[in-house]
Chain A
Amino acid sequence: MSNTTVTEIELDFESKRFSVTKPEERFDVQGDMTDDERIEKAMVNFAKDFGRVSATYMEACIHCGACAHACPFYEASGNPRHTPIWKLEPFKQAYKREAGPLAFLYKTLNLKPKVTVDELKEWQELLYDTCTMCGRCTMICPMSIDIATLVGMARHAMFHAGLVPHELYTVTAKAQKEGSPLGATPSVFEDRVEWMGDEHEVEMHIDEDQADVLVLMSSIEIQKYPESMAATAKILNHMGKSWTFRTDGYEATNFGMLSGNTGWQKDMSMKVIATAEKIGAKLVILPECGHAYQALRWQGANMYGKPLPFKIQHISEFLADAVDAGDLKLKTVNKSVAFHDPCQVSRRGGATPAPRKVLEALGVELREAESGGNMNLCCGGGGGVITIHRADTLRYKIMANKFRQLDSTGAEMMVTSCSNCRQNFDESGEKLSWGKDMNSLLELVAENLVEDAKR
């Protein structure tokens, strides 16, 4: 249980965060554009997202303010500016003025003024620092407005206007250039795969010409939790699957999506899609990562321009299917477990039952937290928030709430299936002296595989 209040924590700005140190000066404004150019770029990108669905949502809001009460950021800060629908205000304004049915009236009578650069600068914090696109607000909204998706759209304008928070921009640019936001370049990846293979005596398949299953990893796992690679390999080998890693298509995270650059988002997705096609993969397995699931499973085909020729599963879904089909036999883990659902996999992704099937097969005593499952409280680190130093204080407050939530189940063991959440738990846990570990579902399975029951 955390016994350090958030105000007592000294924020560490010197340490590397995703290999970005705090610079002398924050570069939260990118590029040399004039204000007018920025607004023009922003409007171009707002306009690309005006469609029937986004318009319906922007028309439907009744200003009831209920969304604030579902948002982990508002709940932690109490600041009305963090009301989810308020985060969309410039996007809404632009839509109503330019593309809504009453646009003509709004423009001629100037009832909705043009969006200004200052407004967008003010909104940078609201669109990036204080939103993970967790979608909990949609659950409480009486009009069921999908605010999270719209925040993602609004980010498109922000990126092209050069208004992404410094650290997020830097890691995104790095990811576009090097293939990984954290320096897990193809050669680094290859090295670490080999290392894990040796360390854990697991047969690694890398750069096979042909395989049924393409396995992706996230840079967080590659760099911070490399045991995931070994765990995945162990399980797939045990199941006798034809699988491979590929150095030309391995990165599951998509910082193009998170920062709002659809061009880069497409590049990053296409690397994986092209590779999967090349090797004739029938299934692409996404690692323990939340937004990776959004990027490929739900947005991948739209980036590609046509339906994808392979299936996509989050590792927890893959494991759940395997357990269901009897392909995996697991030892019983006699512990009580509380599960933290990654928002992008459960509520936003639709794979909420999967980890529970796996936990059931592990024989644990599952203690559902209050407001868990599809209602789960976001950890506050996803969507790029964890990269942003200035968002730390609020993120720690949110984590304090998370610790309280999970601790109240009285469970002995904490499990999740997203390495970014896990990273958040580890870092915040240390800062707030949580005193518990966050475990990976994948690693738990790999550790408790019943290996003599081979197929």
Chain B
Amino acid sequence: MKEHDLTLGEELRRQGISRRSFLKFCAGVASSMAIPAAMVPAMADSLAQARRQSVIMMAYQECTGCLESLTRSFAPTLENLIFNFVSLDFQHTLQAAAGDQAIEAIQTAMEENWGKYLLLVDGSIPLKDDGIYSVSHGQSHLDSLRELSEGAAAIVSIGTCASFGGVGAANPNPTGAVGVDQIITDKPILNVPGCPPMPEVMTGVLTSFLAFGALPEVDRLKRPKAFFADTIHDRCYRRTFYDQGKFAYSFDDEGARKGWCLYPLGCKGPITHNACATLKFNQGVSWPIQSGHGCIGCSEPDFWDKEGFYKPLSAGQWGTAEGIAIAAAAGVALGAASAVMSRRNQDKISGGK
């Protein structure tokens, strides 16, 4: 428990991180969130004073991909240290404890930090049949979410499932899955969508919370504007090819091999808001478009239900095309009917030709 009493600044000094490195880190985070450079010293001071933040992370109807993404690192980084500084009081995959003792840990954390802990959620929450389709320790995740959000300072929905329902909510949504903000309406909620989301975004959100005591500015879908304001299309390195009309039409044609724009192959870049075009995944190794696959729009709601990842954005969503054939037949019928009516009317008016 004593470790909780160190501030972040003290903790970092204990780890041997110089103030200079710390400032560089702050500047880096600040710039990635478009916070003005003048604010960096204030942010650094504030951050240095921060106490260990209690965080409870609940995994609901999820695939664990979000957790994998967040914890992915190839070398210890300051981000990892920040995560270390956060008191992750519960995370059922990462922690060693299991069973009743693990559940007790949640209760303890809640009581000790009532009104101050950060609740992180990944995975969607089924609503159908009283939430029976996603249960841990005999408690439905619906009940769990309601219970845990009562004492939370704020909730962060990690990943598209927690933000918008994600794959669980995809057509036909048999479990009635929804995102967190469809259930909890009386707490500040931040969505960090992505399938999976990017760890840098979490860093930025956490740092913001620790430094300023508040969640960053958000867009209509409650996503931090700093990372989700621009679309992939706005920042895509292949954008010049789009403008020039150079496209890849199949995955192994000349255009594909030359790295041309993937719009015809279904890239949803123009309607997808995320930071991967600039930050990329796995600490800047690559991202889908660089690897030659169009953006699937994974940080947007209902991205699974847009009639396929490989249909270009401008292609129509047809549902059943038989409708068109029926329409043509109907047109003939209507036309014939109107002609009959016209002839009858003609006869009526002219008294027979």
Contact = CB atoms under 8 A, between A and B. Distances in A.
Verify whether A and B have any Cβ pair under 8 Å.
Answer: yes
Interface of A: 43-48, 50, 98-104
Interface string B317-353: 0000000000000000001001101110111011101
A411 to B, nearest CB: 49
A44 B338 contact: no
Contact of A44 (B335, B342, B343, B351): B351
Contacts of B353: 48
B341 A44 contact: no
A100 B334 CA distance: 12
A101 B349 contact: no
A346 to B, nearest CB: 32
Nearest to B335: A101
Given A98-B345, A99-B345, A104 B338 contact: yes
B323 to A, nearest CB: 22
Contacts of B350: 44-45, 47-48
Which of B335, B338, B339: most chain A CB closer than 10 A?
B338
A84 to B, nearest CB: 25
Given A46-B349, A48-B353, A103-B341, 13 more contacts: A43-B349, A44-B349, A44-B351, A47-B345, A47-B350, A48-B346, A48-B350, A98-B346, A99-B342, A99-B343, A100-B342, A101-B339, A102-B338
Interface of chain B, main secondary structure: helix
Nearest to A103: B342
Contacts of B342: 50, 98-101, 103
Nearest to A45: B350
A104 B342 CA distance: 9
16 contacts: A43-B349, A44-B349, A44-B351, A45-B350, A46-B349, A47-B349, A48-B353, A50-B342, A50-B346, A98-B342, A99-B343, A101-B335, A102-B338, A103-B338, A103-B341, A104-B338
A101 B338 CA distance: 5
Contacts of B343: 99
Interface residues of B, number: 13
A43 B349 CA distance: 6
Contacts of A43: 349
Contacts of B341: 103-104
Contacts of A48: 346, 350, 353
A104 B346 CA distance: 13
A104 to B, nearest CB: 7
B327 to A, nearest CB: 16
Nearest to B339: A101
A43 B345 CA distance: 11
Contacts of A101: 335, 338-339, 342
A112 to B, nearest CB: 14
Contact of A99 (B335, B346, B351): B346
A47 B351 CA distance: 9
Contact of A103 (B335, B345, B347): B345
A99 B342 CA distance: 4
A100 B345 CA distance: 10
A48 B341 CA distance: 15
Contacts of A44: 349-351
Contacts of A47: 345-347, 349-350
Nearest to A40: B349
Contacts of B338: 101-104
A46 B351 CA distance: 12
A99 B346 CA distance: 6
B2 to A, nearest CB: 83
A90 to B, nearest CB: 14
A134 B347 CA distance: 31
Contacts of B335: 101
B298 to A, nearest CB: 47
Nearest to B351: A44
Nearest to B349: A47
A44 B345 CA distance: 10
Contacts of B351: 44
A36 to B, nearest CB: 14
B338 to A, nearest CB: 4
B353 to A, nearest CB: 6
Which of B338, B343, B349, B350: most chain A CB closer than 10 A?
B349
A44 B349 CA distance: 5
Nearest to A55: B342
A285 B341 CA distance: 44
Nearest to A94: B349
Nearest to B350: A47
Nearest to B334: A101
A50 B353 CA distance: 11
B349 A98 contact: yes
Contacts of B339: 101
A50 B350 CA distance: 10
A100 B350 CA distance: 15
A394 B245 CA distance: 60
B331 to A, nearest CB: 10
Contacts of B345: 47, 98-99, 103
A46 B346 CA distance: 9
Nearest to A100: B342
B217 to A, nearest CB: 51
A102 B351 CA distance: 22
Which of A47, A50, A100: most chain B CB closer than 10 A?
A47
A104 B341 CA distance: 9
A402 B330 CA distance: 54
A215 B351 CA distance: 38
B312 to A, nearest CB: 34
A192 B346 CA distance: 47
A101 B339 CA distance: 6
Kindly list the 4 A-B residue pairs having the minimum CB-CB distance in the complex, ordered from nearest: A47-B349, A47-B350, A99-B342, A101-B338
Nearest to B338: A101
A102 B349 CA distance: 17
A98 B350 CA distance: 11
A104 B345 CA distance: 11
Contacts of A98: 342, 345-346, 349
A40 to B, nearest CB: 9
A57 to B, nearest CB: 16
Contacts of A99: 342-343, 345-346
Nearest to B348: A47
A296 B306 CA distance: 68
Nearest to A43: B349
